[in-house]
Amino acid sequence: DVLGIEPRNMPLTMLLEPVGRATLTRVLEEVFTAATALDLTLEAERMIGRPNLAARMILLPLRGAAGEYHQAIGALALSGTIGRTPRRFGITRMRSEAIDAPASFIPAQPLNLAHVLQDVATPQFAAPHSASPQPTTTTTTTSRNHLRLVHSRN
């Protein structure tokens, strides 16, 4: 909706004004070469038919099977009204942080949640107060576990 066109197969730089595209390209190289998380604060230009629109984007590198970073996962959150499209953003704040990833994947130890689940009490809710008394009914329920741990081991 922001671009006014289908964004599939478009470069990420299409979201930015031409001035910020070179900056994003340079910082994206760091995301993939140095395993850096990127946090951007963006603001769209305002004019007639284009009200205040701010955004925040986060990009996180994904490690491949061989330990390389060729992909990233990200999110874009908008605040404001899109208005007349296309809307392009300028970078108002940029923060990057190196990710301290382990050299190899370390499998987690399986958790034994049985003792934890036994200590969890079922919440008791008070009946709502009403002006007219409601008829009472007696029902018998059987006690069953409501949570179940599902896992798979390869």
Task: Report how far apart, in Å, the C-alpha atoms of 12 and of each of 9, 47, 57 are.
Answer: 9, 24, 11
User: Which positions of the chain have pLDDT values less than 50?
Assistant: 120, 125
- pLDDT for res 104: 55
- pLDDT for res 115: 53
Task: Report how far apart, in Å, the C-alpha atoms of 140 and of each of 8, 88, 129, 130, 147 are.
Answer: 55, 62, 23, 24, 21
Q: In terms of pTM, does the model score above 0.75?
A: no
Smallest Cα–Cα separation from 12: which of 34, 33, 45, 38?
38
The verdict on whether omega for the bond into residue 133 sits within 30 degrees of 0, i.e. cis, is no
Residue with tokens 């998380």: 37
Q: Give the separation between CA 124 and CA 93, rounded to whole angstroms.
A: 48
Q: Give the separation between CA 3 and CA 51, rounded to whole angstroms.
A: 15
- pLDDT for res 101: 56
- pLDDT for res 41: 93
H or E segment and range at residue 81: none
